[in-house]
Structure formats: structure tokens, C-alpha cells
Amino acid sequence: MLGCSLVLSVQAMYSSSDDVVELTPSNFNREVIQSDSLWLVEFYAPWCGHCQSLAPEWKKAATALKGIVKVGAVDADQHKSLGGQYGVRGFPTIKVFGANKNKPEEYQGGRSSQAIVDGAMNALRTLVKERLSGKSGGSSYNKQSSGGSKKDVVELTDDNFDETVLNSDDVWLVEFFAPWCGHCKNLEPEWAAAATAVKEQTKGKVRLGAVDATVHQVVSSRYGVRGFPSIKIFRKGEEPEDYQGGRTRGDIIEKAMDLFSNNAPAPELVEILNEDVLKKTCEDSQLCIIAVLPHILDTGASGRNGYLDVMVKMAEKYKKKLWGWLWTEAGGQMELEASLGIGGFGYPAMAAINARKMKFALLRGSFSETGIHEFLRELSVGRGSTATLGGGVMPKINAVEAWDGKDGELPVEEEYDLSDIDLDEDFEKDEL
């Protein structure tokens, strides 16, 4: 499997008859964030083999912890906004929501029901000790706008709207509200929580703002605001559009991340020059796509640039996946090629590596937009043949010089002066 990417049977892993609470963007805030209980939450994908193996153990643990610790599960393949909100990058991921629901901790224990129960009880003891010592152990929903801070919602006015929003290169989601509006009051904590999460996840490239339309009537009337709350999306140089999504933080975050992906540049295509390049790219991404291109003497600069152009187009096409993209020259990283078994397929070659699972898949089709698209599409839906990385560890990487963008040059052979060499004058020539 590659990141649990082999499809077995895609079906609901938990049901109402289980003691596992099924969590979605519509009930997560109510069930988990506003709760005073300790929660263990699994983020899974139905097609993930490891998730399927965990499911019976998760159910046993939920039954054993019933009435003591809450146990839930999120289908993060279906509800990507929740997975994104909590930094889920692989499956299954287990988070412990304890004293501070806004900062869950990652569960690092075993995957048996006994290990899960032991981990839950340890977390529960920690929570109780914190409460005894006077630390807040309850929900911080009402204290910090349910996971967000109002400071991350930008206050917009008639005076600053154009400069802050319209002249910005960032994408903006703007809420027009009225202080007396009940729906606006319900939205406020969700908007604040989403603002914080979106700011962190997009590095400020997508922002959330709010306009008190009862005070700042010029900008509100300009955009035809007649009901509250009204939410509009602003991109530089484009007409604003109405936000049509749900009003939970998960819905808002999901839309914001879609906007971010659509407007974000494609990931950089990086040459593997040393071990740090490979390590950082692969460890920071769910998958890293690696191409081994023919030697520069075989293709010249134009041929190599043609292959790189194909990769750049694919990186743009799949930029929402947030994968890493790397390339190297044939013979430049022999241990990498050996661990992937690439040499036997000729060049150019391509592999997708899941560094967390030490699994990889090879491109078997053509090194073309069509061939690579089919390869990556199969990976995206959980299909494709995979194998364990040679030795189960990342290979050693040699430090090499960056390609200078030019054609290669054949090494200059040393010329020998034969004038001083004595030849045997008595040498008899062979006769035909």
C-alpha cells in the first residue's frame, strides 16, 4: 500500500450500533469542542487498509471506555475540511482532545484495543490532575470563540475596505453582519474559529473579515447587502461572488482551502542536490513524486527541458494534493535508483514515495502528460501496484552540483604523443 492507498472495499467502517461516535463538520463542534469530556478521535479513510485493520480494535476500545472517555471517528476522505483543520496528512491519525480542545495532541501509542484504552486512561489522569491543580479543564468554547480568536477576523470599515480587501493579493471571505441578528451571533464563533485555522493553514493567503453593515453602510450598499449575515468572496481584479456554503467552521474552512488551492502557485520542481532536499520534500508531503531523467548527454538541454515542462504541468494539475516534486539525473543517485528498482525500466522513470509508510509506486506507462496523469490519478483513488522501499529506509543521497541549464559536454580525452615511442622495426606484418 502507498499511504494506505490500495482500495479494498469502500464502505462505512462504523455504524450507529457501535459505541464509536461518527463525527462530521455539522456535529464536531457540538460533540467534541463544546464538550467537557476527554475525546479520542480517529481520522480515517474507508479505502485505507491500516484503517480497516484498526476498526475492530477501535470499536472494542470505545465499548470499554463507554461512559469514561468519548471515542469518535471522522471519515476524513469525505470530510476533508475537518482533516485539514487538524493537520491530518495520513491515515489513520488519532487525536486526543483534552483540556484544551483547541490544541489536540497526537496519539502515539499502539493500535490494539488494550493500548488505546491505556492511552486514554493516561490522558484522563493528566486531565484530572490539571483540574485539581486549578488549570482549566473544561471547554474553552465560550472563552475563546470556540477554537478561534476574534483578532484573526479583520474588522473592515468604509474607510479601510478598499485598501485592505480590494487592493490585496490575498483572497478574502467577508461577512456582512448586524449586531442584533441572531444568525450572525450563531455564526460569530464559527467565523472566528475558521479565521484562525485558515490563517494558519494558508499562511495568511486567505483571510476572513467582518463588516458591521449597520454602521458601515457605504460598502454594504455597494455590494447589495440586504440580509444578514451575508458572506462574499473577494479576489483581486474580479467581481465578488456570494458564498453559498454551510455556516459551520468546517464548511467555511473547506471553502477557504479550496480557494487557497485554486489560487496558490504550483509546488516547485526541485533537483535532488543533497540529502536535505529529499528529506525535507518527502517528509513534509504526503507523497513526493520523483523523476529520474536521462543523462544530459543523451537528451541535451532541450530534451531535458521538455521532460521538466511535463512535470511542471503535472505539478500544476495536482497542486491541490500538496505533493512534493523532485528530479535527478540518471546515474546521479544510484542508491535511490536501486531502492526504487528504476534502472530496469529505462529513462525517464518516475516513482511516487510515501516517506511515512516507506512505500512507493512506479510509473509503468509513458513519461508524458497522459501517462503521468493516469499514474497519479490511480494513486489518488487508491489503486496501483506498490512495494516497500528498498531496505525500508530512505536511501543515501549524494551531494551533486545543480544542472546549469546547458547541454552536456563530453569529457576531453588526453592526447598522447606517439613520436617518442620506439616501434620494433623487425615487426613482421601479417600477410593476408
pTM of the model: 0.52
pLDDT, tens digit, for every residue of 218-263? 999 999 999 999 999 999 999 999 999 999 888 898 899 888 877 7
* Beta strands, E only, 296-337: 324-329
Do the beta carbons of residue 363 and residue 353 sit within 8 Å? no
Report the alpha-carbon distance of residue 217 to residue 201 in Å, rounded: 32
Written as one string, the DSSP assignment of 132-145 is HTT---S--TTTTT
Are 112 and 119 in contact by the 8 Å Cβ rule? The answer is no
Report the chain's mean pLDDT, rounded to a whole number.
Answer: 86
Residue 6 has pLDDT above 50, yes or no: no
Average pLDDT over residues 165-173: 95
Q: Which residue has the higher pLDDT, 136 or 53?
A: 53
Q: How confident is the model at residue 164 (pLDDT cuts 50, 70, 90)?
A: very high
Q: For position 428, what pLDDT does the model report? A: 52
Instruction: Render pLDDT for 272-321 as a digit per residue (tens, 0 to 9).
Output: 999 999 988 888 777 899 999 999 999 999 999 999 999 999 999 888 77
- Judged by phi (left if over 0) then psi (alpha if -120 to 50, else beta), residue 392 lies in left
pLDDT at 141 over 50: no
Tell me the CB-side half-sphere exposure of residue 41, using CA atoms within 13 A.
26
pLDDT tens, 388-424? 888 778 899 999 999 999 998 887 666 666 666 665 5
Three cell numbers, residue 35? 464538550
Q: Which three cell numbers stand for residue 42?
A: 480517529
Q: b or e along 341-380 (b: 16 or more beta carbons within 10 Å of the residue's beta carbon)?
A: ebeeeebbbbbbbbbebbbbbbbeeebeeeebebbbebbe
Q: What is the mean pLDDT of residues 183-188?
A: 94
Which listed residue (4, 184, 282, 288) is catalytic? 184
Percentage above 90 pLDDT, the chain: 52
Tens digit of pLDDT for each residue in 321-354? 778 999 999 999 999 999 998 875 689 999 999 8
Which is catalytic among the residues 4, 48, 282, 288? 48
Confidence class of residue 146 from pLDDT cuts 50, 70 and 90?
very low
SS3 (DSSP) at 63: helix
Any long-range contacts for 334-341 (C-beta under 8 Å, 24+ apart)? 335/395, 335/396, 335/397, 335/398, 336/272, 336/278, 336/290, 336/292, 336/395, 336/397, 337/292, 338/390, 338/395, 339/389, 339/390, 339/391, 339/395, 340/290, 340/389, 340/390, 341/387, 341/390
User: What does the longest C-alpha to C-alpha distance in the chain come to?
Assistant: 116
* pLDDT greater at residue 44 or residue 384: 44
What are the phi and psi torsion angles at 56 (to 5°)? -65, -35
Spatial CB neighbours of 223, under 8 Å, sequence gap ≥ 6: 176, 230, 232, 240
What percent of the chain has pLDDT above 70?
A: 88
Specify the DSSP class assigned to residue 362: E
Q: How is the beta sheet containing 269-271 ordered, strand by strand?
A: 269-271, 324-329, 288-293, 349-354, 359-362, 387-388
Q: For residue 292, give the C-alpha cell.
A: 529520474
pLDDT of res. 8: 32
- Return d(Cα 383, Cα 376) in angstroms, integer: 10
Q: Is 51 a catalytic residue?
A: yes
Look at residue 427 in the predicted model and tell me its pLDDT: 47
User: Backbone phi, then psi, for 156, in 5-degree steps?
Assistant: -110, 145
pLDDT category at 118 given cuts 50, 70, 90 is: very high
pLDDT for residue 403: 95
Which residues are bridge partners to 21 per DSSP?
Answer: 72
Is residue 181 annotated as part of the catalytic site, yes or no? yes
* Phi-psi label, residue 139: left if phi above 0, alpha if psi -120 to 50, beta otherwise: beta
Domains defined for the chain, CATH in brackets: 21-132 (3.40.30.10), 150-263 (3.40.30.10), 269-392 (3.40.30.10)
Among 4, 51, 282, 288, the active-site one is: 51
